[in-house]
Amino acid sequence: MVWSETLPQGCPPSDALEPNNMEVFRLVKTIPPTEVDFYSHRKLEPEKVFHVSECIARSISVFNDLSACNAVKKLPKFKNETFHTIKMLLDSECGVVLNRNGIHHFSFWMRDSFNPIERHEAIGVEERL
Residues that bind another protein (CB under 8 A): 27, 40-41, 45, 47-52, 60-61, 68, 71-77, 79-80, 100-105
Instruction: Yes or no: say if 122 and 129 are a contact pair by the CB < 8 Å rule.
Output: no
Nearest approach in angstroms of CB 80 to another protein is 5
According to DSSP, residue 121 is labeled: E
CA distance 81 to 62: 19
Nearest approach in angstroms of CB 129 to another protein is 26
Instruction: Yes or no: say if 16 and 109 are a contact pair by the CB < 8 Å rule.
Output: yes
> With respect to another protein, which residue has the nearer C-beta, 71 or 125?
71
Sheet holding 105-110, edge to edge: 95-99, 105-110, 60-63, 22-28, 84-90, 120-123
> With respect to another protein, which residue has the nearer C-beta, 93 or 117?
117
> With respect to another protein, which residue has the nearer C-beta, 101 or 113?
101
Nearest approach in angstroms of CB 63 to another protein is 8
Buried b (16+ CB within 10 A) or exposed e, 28-60: beebebeeebbebbbbeeeeeeeeeeebbbbbb
Nearest approach in angstroms of CB 72 to another protein is 5
> With respect to another protein, which residue has the nearer C-beta, 25 or 114?
25
